[in-house]
Structure 1
Amino acid sequence: MEPPAPLNANPPTEMYHVEKTAVLHAPDGPNIDSSISPDPDLNPELAMDLPPLDTSPRGWLTVVGGFACLFVSFGWATCIGVFQAYYTTHQLANYSTSAIGWIPSVETFFLFLGVPIFGGLFDHLGPTILLVIGTVLHVGGLLGLANCQTYVQIFFAQGVVSAMGTGAIFVAGTTAVGTWFRDRRGLALGLVSAGSAIGAVIGTAVIPVLFDGIGFPWTMRAVALTYFVLMIVAIATISRRPQAASHSPVPFHISQLVPVPLLKSGPVLALAIACFFYFFGVFIPYNFIVIEAQDDGDGERLANNLLVILSATSTVGRVMPGWLGDRYGRFNATIAFTLFSVVLALGLWIGAPWRTGRIAFAALYGFGSGTFVSMVPTLVAQICPDMSQLGTYLGAVYIVIAPSVLINQPIAGALAASGERDERDSYVWLKVFCGLVMFLGVLGFVAARAAYLGHSGKPWKWVKA
């Protein structure tokens, strides 16, 4: 019998299942003996004292806490359309759409920029400290936003302080869940990311009503109190799966807060570039579908209902791709759902620029685009060879994503302002831009899948991946 092949630090294929003989089979790759694997779960002797993967009650409790984390982080960020529309007619009515667009853009940018910073810290400190830091920043930022009146004040409280807190919360919630699951990781992270959809549904439906009923300051205080209670639940339930006693932790280096060297890996770089382009476009409808409806004559409440519909259908779009990905391949599911979103943007959103068309687009786009929250952490976990470094790998991908969400809304605002208001669809170039950059993201996911599988010359080759 030939000796086992050496383990590659960045294996090109996923280890799909563990046989009773403790030998792994990777499609199109070598058989890997568990005795030489750095993963203790692949060695029965090391795994005996560890909680089980996929079935541990502590793991499912972490899913509950992760749900709360996504509710208050991405759920809040997905409400950007509500604030874009509100600021345009209230505190910042004297500013252009593009200038106001910088606030949600910077907010999303700092959320994503926090991922590499807090991802490296997660690997060494665990989730609890990050959750406490995130709670202080996010809740404190919202309480400060309640008293803001000027552009600079709103920009700093909402776009910087609160956003950095959401970054810490997002990292702690998703990364901790990723350590507890393997075969059901897509489903688990899908359930976690459903928290962002529920948070967006409630936020987009309730916040405008509170604006009219109790005013902006007390609305922000009510949101801050709600998020504080949910973060108490998260802190009480989230834990990281213990590591084997024989596992030697990698010494912490400040460079892990900016994990650029990991981008030398082909699958990591390809996945990061794919996410850069897809995230460049995916948030645009969340922001501008409300403004488009208002410009077309819909009232503020009716226009905001589009965002409620979009957020509601994205609940299914968060969970289903992960569930399907566990069965048919997580890259495969991501490619299918992201391509569906592109078809909707370039087809339905452009082809039916009236009220009924916008309602149909909002419902279908929420379902298709929901994958952007759940599947990116799932794919990062799939290409990460060691779960003790999952936070750092997540940071390497999100450090590339961050610039795209910084500039996408101002660019979209400029494209929206450039349209002729007497045209059939003055937002058509914004929609074309949205669809094309997302399509580049789809091509990137295809390339990342090929790089991960190790047959980049045949990206169309079918295999569960």
Structure 2
Amino acid sequence: MAESHKTSESISALSHHFKNDSLDPPDVPDVPQIIPPDGGSIAWMTIAGAWMVQFCTFGYINAFDYYTRDFLSTFSPSDISWIGSLQLFLMYAPGVFVGRAFDAGYFHYMEISGSILYIFSLFMLSLTQRDKYYQVFLAQGLGMGLGLGLTFLPSLSIVSHHFRRRRALAMGIVVSGASCGGIVFPIMLNRLFQSPAISFANGVRASAGLLGGLLVLANGLMRTRLPPKGRGAPLDWDAFARVVCDAPYLWSIAGGVLCAFCPRAALDGLAEPSSPASAYSFPLFAVDHGVDVRITTYCLAILNAGSTAGRLLPTFLADRLGVYNMLVPSIFTAGAVLFGMFGATTSAGVIVVGLIFGFASGAYVSLIPALLVMLCTDLSELGVRMGFAFSVVGAAMLTGTPISGALLGTGPLHWWRSIVFAGVCIVTGFACMLVSRTLFAARRGSQHI
């Protein structure tokens, strides 16, 4: 009997062992390692690489206005604006598919292929001929736009792999690359194109070589940490179903769309410093109101200088005071300052409005990705959530500039129309974001959000 009892205990222990093995996958002991380290050499190298991606891509397209005005001088501002609109649309619209690919572990594939396409298209842009609209449209609008679509969202999403407590600050550092590019490239290209010894083609090629080298370095620095989610259908329908039932998330997207759509309809470069300034831009507003031409040359640099500060200081405070608590006031400030443009008819007024609006809109641009990460309950679905939001915003990016053209008119420019329209819509976006904050605060049971 004793021997039988021992055999029974052995079988029971063996059964318990296999049962535990079947319930606990081998990677369970590694779960603590999945928690973002909030620092370390690999994390900061990734931030540096992502910053370079933003600098080379979103930062570079700030220079759009400096050559299209002269290079396509026989075409209307509305025609030219479609190039920038398509570029922005293609950067955001594929987000739902790019986000799913990011979750599935294709981060490096997208970054490398997108970088190659982006630089190739930029070299093709250097071969375009003056007043050949279709050539610029294909090279810059289509080619560079698709390259942006493959690199932009993944370079933001990768921050969540390495940071949690300091995520907003890390995100702010990354997106400040776009503002820094917005300061450097318009001035650099303006000087290159005005030099008698350097043609448009050589200037673009020189910038393409610089960007190519930086993107090679960026791709070598960035690293992933989280294991990929199952590689299956292009869309994760289960995650998508959870997304569309998340009320705070949907209200935040509604606010984000209004804030992205209306800046495109109000002097492009002013209302969103990281967007390409088309003919309907802050520099043109300044020139049209008799501001010193020496100031108007540096309008975009002024805007992006304010935006750089806005992408760093509010994100630093957001990690301590809450993302919503910094984002909501920033959106309200941006809307209020837009109405202040009615009084910006002097050099001092332009500088003040540019710096304040740059700061407020820079805070918005950097805090929105951090907000989307905070609203995500499962980081394995982060790509889907950010991708869905970016895809919706893409529609606003495509249609904003043509609406701007209709509002401003083709004769004397009616600036008040687009200013009022954009200001009202940004304030409405502020209201939507306030609703999102209220719902999320009730869910979290805290106002420190």
Report the Cα distance in structure 2 between the residues aligned to 1:73 and 1:289, rounded to whole angstroms. Answer: 21
Deviation at 1:110, TM superposition (A): 0.9
Q: Residue 361 of structure 1: which of 348, 353, 357 is its match?
A: 353
Change (3 A) 1:169 1:258: farther
SS of corresponding position for 1:318: helix
Change (3 A) 1:87 1:258: farther
Give the AA of the match of 2:55. Answer: F
SS of corresponding position for 1:415: helix
Q: Is the 8 A contact 1:97 1:417 kept in 2?
A: no
Change (3 A) 1:218 1:251: same
Q: Which residue in the other structure is 1:334 paired with?
A: 327
Change (3 A) 1:294 1:271: same
Deviations 1:210-254 (A, max 9, x none): 1112222112112211111111111111111234xxxx8334212
**2:156 maps to 1:174:** yes
Q: Residue 370 of structure 1: which of 362, 365, 372 is its match?
A: 362
Superposition pairs of residues 119-198 of structure 1, within 5 angstroms? 119-149=99-129, 150-198=132-180
Deviation at 1:116, TM superposition (A): 2.2
**2:389 maps to 1:409:** no
Gaps of 5+ in 2: 1-26, 270-276
Q: Which residue in the other structure is 2:58 paired with?
A: 74
Report the Cα distance in structure 2 between the residues aligned to 1:274 and 1:59, rounded to whole angstroms. Answer: 31
SS of corresponding position for 1:74: coil
Report the Cα distance in structure 2 between the residues aligned to 1:311 and 1:339, rounded to whole angstroms. Answer: 19
Deviations 1:367-414 (A, max 9, x none): 111023311211111111121221111101111111111111111122
Superposition pairs of residues 53-452 of structure 1, within 5 angstroms? 53-80=37-64, 82-83=65-66, 86-88=67-69, 90-149=70-129, 150-213=132-195, 214-243=198-227, 249-256=229-236, 261=241, 262-283=243-264, 284-285=266-267, 286=269, 287=277, 288-297=281-290, 302-346=295-339, 348-417=340-409, 420=412, 426-452=414-440
Report the Cα distance in structure 2 between the residues aligned to 1:396 and 1:289, rounded to whole angstroms. Answer: 30
Q: Which residue in the other structure is 1:16 paired with?
A: none
Q: Is the 8 A contact 1:65 1:235 kept in 2?
A: yes
Deviation at 1:306, TM superposition (A): 0.8
Report the Cα distance in structure 1 between the residues aligned to 2:52 and 2:82, rounded to whole angstroms. Answer: 27
Deviations 1:29-79 (A, max 9, x none): xxxxxxxxxxxx9x9x54444475202321111111111011012212333
Deviation at 1:263, TM superposition (A): 2.7
SS of corresponding position for 2:230: coil
TM-score for both structures, normalised by structure 1: 0.82
SS of corresponding position for 1:191: helix
Q: Is the 8 A contact 1:204 1:304 kept in 2?
A: no
SS of corresponding position for 1:343: helix
Give the AA of the match of 2:37. Answer: L
Q: Is the 8 A contact 2:103 2:229 kept in 1?
A: no
Q: Is the 8 A contact 2:283 2:297 kept in 1?
A: yes
Moved more, 97-106 or 281-290: 281-290
Q: Is the 8 A contact 2:105 2:229 kept in 1?
A: no
Q: Please provide the CA RMSD for this pair.
A: 2.6
SS of corresponding position for 2:298: helix
Q: Is the 8 A contact 1:270 1:447 kept in 2?
A: yes
Moved more, 262-271 or 357-366: 262-271
Give the paired residue count: 408
Report the Cα distance in structure 2 between the residues aligned to 1:453 and 1:431, rounded to whole angstroms. Answer: 32
Q: Is the 8 A contact 2:48 2:174 kept in 1?
A: yes
Change (3 A) 1:354 1:219: same
Change (3 A) 1:132 1:328: same
Give the AA of the match of 2:176. Answer: A
Report the Cα distance in structure 2 between the residues aligned to 1:291 and 1:259, rounded to whole angstroms. Answer: 44
Q: Which residue in the other structure is 2:3 paired with?
A: none
Deviation at 1:363, TM superposition (A): 1.4
Deviation at 1:364, TM superposition (A): 1.3
- Structure showing greater radius of gyration is 2
Give the AA of the match of 2:326. Answer: A
Report the Cα distance in structure 1 between the residues aligned to 2:57 and 2:429, rounded to whole angstroms. Answer: 24
Report the Cα distance in structure 2 between the residues aligned to 1:257 and 1:320, rounded to whole angstroms. Answer: 37
Give the AA of the match of 1:385. Answer: T
Deviations 1:173-210 (A, max 9, x none): 11111221111000000111111111111012111111
Report the Cα distance in structure 2 between the residues aligned to 1:331 and 1:79, rounded to whole angstroms. Answer: 32
SS of corresponding position for 2:297: helix
SS of corresponding position for 1:370: helix
Deviation at 1:99, TM superposition (A): 1.9
SS of corresponding position for 2:73: coil
Give the AA of the match of 2:262. Answer: G
Deviation at 1:453, TM superposition (A): 2.9
Q: Which residue in the other structure is 1:10 paired with?
A: none
